[in-house]
Structure 1
Amino acid sequence: MKTSSHLESPLQTIKHPLLTAKKIQLQVKRDDLLHPSVQGNKWRKLKYNLIALKRQQSQCLLTFGGAFSNHLYATAMASKLFHIPAHFIVRGPHLDLSNPTIRFAKACKVNLHPVTRIEYRQRHDVHYLEQLKHQFPSAFIIPEGGSNQFALQGCKELAQSLPPSDYLCCAVGSGGTLAGILQGVHKTTKVLGFAVLKNAEYLNGEVTTLNPSALELTNWQILTEFHGGGYGKFSTSLWDFCQTMKRDHHLPLEPIYTGKMMYGLWQMIEQDQFPQHSRIIAIHTGGLQGLDGLRYRRLI
């Protein structure tokens, strides 16, 4: 299976008086430009999962997601592009067919299976997964968010594609992107993960479970104070920052993942938490389709 015909995504240098004053070089890895629909870390995670699916001669894929999930959106497009039938266990219990993410998935001809929130909580349970294997015997199962060992290979490639830097920053939801980056980044680069949900200290364990070698590494840290109120929540000041970055720097952001990371990073620069002459690369992990969902819910 040919998994990509796209060139590597570009690096955008941000020019701003604050950065000049602090003597900081800030670049953004624009993985949101990898593909119009299968973009960012979702493509990085899906790439080797789809290769494994073909190698195992699975006839379809099965995965999990919320009704506004970036993973659902990206995997639906991948299903269409590569002609792989797909089944989604969707946190429900009902599907809102006016939801733009659900409408897109339906247009891609994927099969949506809404379940109660109680059932959805079993998505990591071994016995529940065995039941799904019996129900969908030819399916290749990809976990929620796409984070597994196959995903790490794609995120490792992302790190290896970057020029040298002192700091590398990314948003953290499930830990898969960060775990993969740690496999490919130079040990002298400090990796900063910005947790997008509350009470996220457990993510350290998620990262080391996915990538046990991270236990021995001292060049990474998950920052838990920039969640903006919790997953899916954001302040007016955060949204204003996102709009300013788009207007002044042509950098589109959403306030759920990359926007939180960039806003947190900006505050750290203002507070002199980086030495002068630091080279910082921030990874834009995509997810811009989420803006349609926020508009649909009248949150922006």
Structure 2
Amino acid sequence: MKSKNQKISIHFPNGIELFIKREDQLHPIISGNKFRKLKYNLAEAKRLGYKKLLTFGGAFSNHIVAVAGAGKEFGFETIGIIRGEELQEKIEENPSLSVAQQFGMKLVFVSRDAYRLKETPEFIKEMKSQFGDFYLLPEGGTNELAIKGCEEILSEDDIQFSHICSSIGTGGTISGIINSAASHQNIIGFSSLKGDFLQNDIAKFANQKNWSVNCEYHFGGYGKVTNELIEFINTFYLEHAIRLDPIYTGKMMLGIFVLIQKDFFPPNSKILAIHTGGLQGIAGMNLKLEKSGKTKITI
């Protein structure tokens, strides 16, 4: 898997500069942190001789789409265990699941109660009885090999930055960033979920202490948005020609802007924000916004 990306910069008062690392440009389908998380997992699956990948996700999962796309590109059969039996009758109305299916992924819909048991030996045994042997990818894609891939997000050129910011879902991406960051850099994760429980998950993988999790910009919780957030995402696109997704990067970027206004960052700070992709989720969010009569995200 080859990669490429670029940075753009935005200037603020007090000499503060915000640079955006365009990880969303790594691959048209397997973009951003999903590219990083899958890189070594796909290599390991191939090395071990697996022909199938099995993983888990919700209605508009970036991970599901990325795994389906990777399967098509690299010759793996893919199986997606999807949370919510009711979604089976609405595949055509769901942009993410439709794309995953078009890429050849077999979608298996289970109840929410059954989904909670997805990591148990009994559930995995049942899946193997149905589909044969497979390489298992966790929900969201975070495991040790995924973190190894995310450790490659930062390059030698990034040593200049005083602060590095990333959105957080499962904690894998920021763990990789922490492990490869310099000791003088401050790593800030912006959680897209309510609560501070992610700190414990990150601490399991992170090998440094120069990081923190900001839980103030989740805008209602995972998958939740507000008019303020949508307006910011649309304005940001108009001003900078960069699309942000409403689940992760939009929340992070708005959080960074607010913190700059509040003088959280010292004068002359050089901030690097990681654009982790996730743009395929905009279409699904726009369907929800349209049904509720709210302003949609510009695409």
Is the TM-score greater than 0.5? yes
Q: Which residue of 1 aligns with 2:114?
A: 119
Are 1:228 and 2:216 an aligned pair?
no
The answer (yes or no) to whether the contact 1:53–1:140 under 8 Å persists in 2 is: yes
SS in structure 1 at match of 2:117: helix
Q: Conserved in 2, the CA contact under 8 Å of 1:22 and 1:272? A: no
Q: Aligned partners of 2:46, 2:225: CA distance in 1, in Å? A: 39
**Which residue pairs with 2:25 in the alignment?**
33
Q: Percent identity?
A: 39
Q: Match for 1:286 among 277, 286, 291?
A: 277
Residues 101-142 of structure 1 show CA distances to partners (whole Å, capped at 9, x for unaligned) of 111111111111000011111123344234334444320000
AA at the equivalent of 1:123 = K
C-alpha separation in 1, matches of 2:157 and 2:64: 27
Hey, what's the Cα distance between the residues in 2 that align with 1:245 and 1:41?
A: 21
Aligned in 2, Cα 1:161/1:154: closer, same or farther, shift over 3 Å? farther
- Of residues 63, 73, 78, the one that matches 1:71 is 63
Answering whether residue 51 of structure 2 is matched by residue 59 of structure 1, we say yes
Taking the aligned partners of 2:262 and 2:120, their CA distance within structure 1 comes to: 43
Match of 2:91 among 89, 97, 120: 97
The number of residues matched between the two structures is 287
Alpha carbons 1:228, 1:234 under 8 Å: kept: yes
Asked if 1:187 is matched to 2:183, the reply is yes
Question: Deviation of residue 162 (structure 1)?
Answer: 4.8
- 2:265 maps to 1:274: yes
Q: Distance in 2 between matches of 1:126 and 1:203?
A: 24
What CA deviation, in whole Å up to 9, does each residue of 1:70-123 have, x standing for no partner?
Answer: 111111111111111000101121321221111111111111100001111112
TM-score, length of structure 2 as denominator length: 0.92
Q: Distance in 2 between matches of 1:207 and 1:133?
A: 30
In the other structure, the counterpart of 1:159 is: 154
Is it true that 1:131 corresponds to 2:126 in the alignment?
yes
Q: Which runs of 5+ in 2 are unaligned?
A: none
Offset from partner CA, 1:139-196 (integer Å, 9 cap, x none): 0000000000110111001123552210000000100101111121111111000000
How many angstroms apart in 2 are the aligned matches of 1:9 and 1:36? 12
AA aligned opposite 2:103: C
| 175, 193, 198: which one aligns with 1:197 | 193
Return 5+ residue gaps in structure 1 as ranges.
none
Contact 1:100–1:296 under 8 Å retained in 2: no
Secondary structure class of the residue paired with 2:116: helix
Which amino acid in structure 2 is aligned with residue 189 of structure 1? Q
1:163 counterpart SS class:
helix
Instruction: Name the CA shift for 1:282/1:232 in 2 (closer, same or farther; >3 Å).
Output: same
Give the whole-Å Cα distance in 2 for the aligned partners of 1:124 and 1:167. Answer: 35
Residue pair 1:156, 1:181 contacting (<8 A) in 2 also? yes
**2:279 is aligned with 1:259:** no
> Which stretches of structure 1, 4 residues or more, deviate above 4 A after TM superposition?
none
- The equivalent of 1:244 in structure 2 is 235
CA distance in 1, matches of 2:273, 2:105: 33
Provide the secondary structure at the position in 2 that maps to 1:247. Answer: helix
CA distance in structure 1 between the partners assigned to 2:130 and 2:197 by the alignment:
32
TM-score normalized by structure 1? 0.92
Query: Match for residue 149 of structure 1?
Result: 144
* Matched residue type, 1:163: D
Aligned partner of 2:10 among 2, 10, 14: 14
Cα distance in 2 for residues equivalent to 1:133 and 1:161? 43
Displacement of 1:235 after TM fit?
Answer: 1.3
Contact map agreement 1:194 1:261 (CA 8 A) in 2: yes
CA 1:134 to 1:182, structure 2 compared with 1: closer, same or farther past 3 Å? farther
Task: Give a deviation string over 1:50-73, Cα, whole Å, max 9, x none.
Answer: 001001111110000012101111
Structure 1 residue 168 corresponds to structure 2 residue 159: no
RMSD between superposed Cα atoms in Å: 1.4
Secondary structure at the residue paired with 2:115? helix
